[in-house]
Amino acid sequence: MVIPIIIHGNKTLREIALEANIEDKATHDAFILDLIDTLKTTETGVGIAAPQVGNSVRIFISWADRNRISSSKPIIFINPEIVEAKGSKKMDDEGCLSVPKVYARVERFQKVRVKYLDENWEPQEKLFKGFEARVIQHENDHLNGLEFFDHLSDVELKKIQYKLDELSKGNIPELEYEYILEG
């Protein structure tokens, strides 16, 4: 089932998400399938976090393969923790499904080591590099109430502030996916 994506200005995007509980495994597993279905409806999305669809739980998926829909499976992250961020940082353009049609250059680490539970609720620890590392840092930020533009300098933030204000007012560009403003 496709879930509407919430847009910047919705308070859920600023909440710190709660841990997913194994006792609610069946509910979470069904939700993860819905999260995948939701991401598939987007043209540009390479990841999505539970808070982006109004569920403040520590789950996100990364589909960092640019041919994601046809050639790969997403990686499921349940209760992820970035335990190490290392290597050089790199500036690159970032956008967000919850901040549609707004892009900015964000500096991120090139390597991150993540501890998480996979789709089978099995513990994993893995090093991710490059684009995958960027997507993971972006989605993990959502679990901590952060949006990508929170990493910008004041000067860079001013360049996109008008667009952020417009989104907060409900002036949403035409999108290929369902969305929610309220909250």
Q: Which of 94, 132, 139, 147 is catalytic?
A: 139
Tokens of 89: 């940082």
Q: Which amino acid would we find at residue 86?
A: K
Separation CA 94–CA 138 (nearest Å): 9
In terms of DSSP bridges, do strands 179-180 and 75-96 run parallel, antiparallel, or are they unpaired?
Answer: unpaired
155's tokens: 């000067």
86 token code pair: 């290392």
Q: If DSSP codes are grouped into helix, strand and coil, which group holds residue 16?
A: strand
Which residues lie across from 94 on neighbouring strands?
104
In the residue annotation, 119 being an active-site residue is answered as no
Residue 77: both structure tokens together: 């992250």
Q: Which is nearest to 98 in space by CA: 53, 40, 63, 60?
A: 53
Taking the chain, what is the end-to-end CA distance rounded to the nearest angstrom?
Answer: 21
SS3 28: helix
The tokens for 131 are 């684009």
Which residues belong to the active site? 139
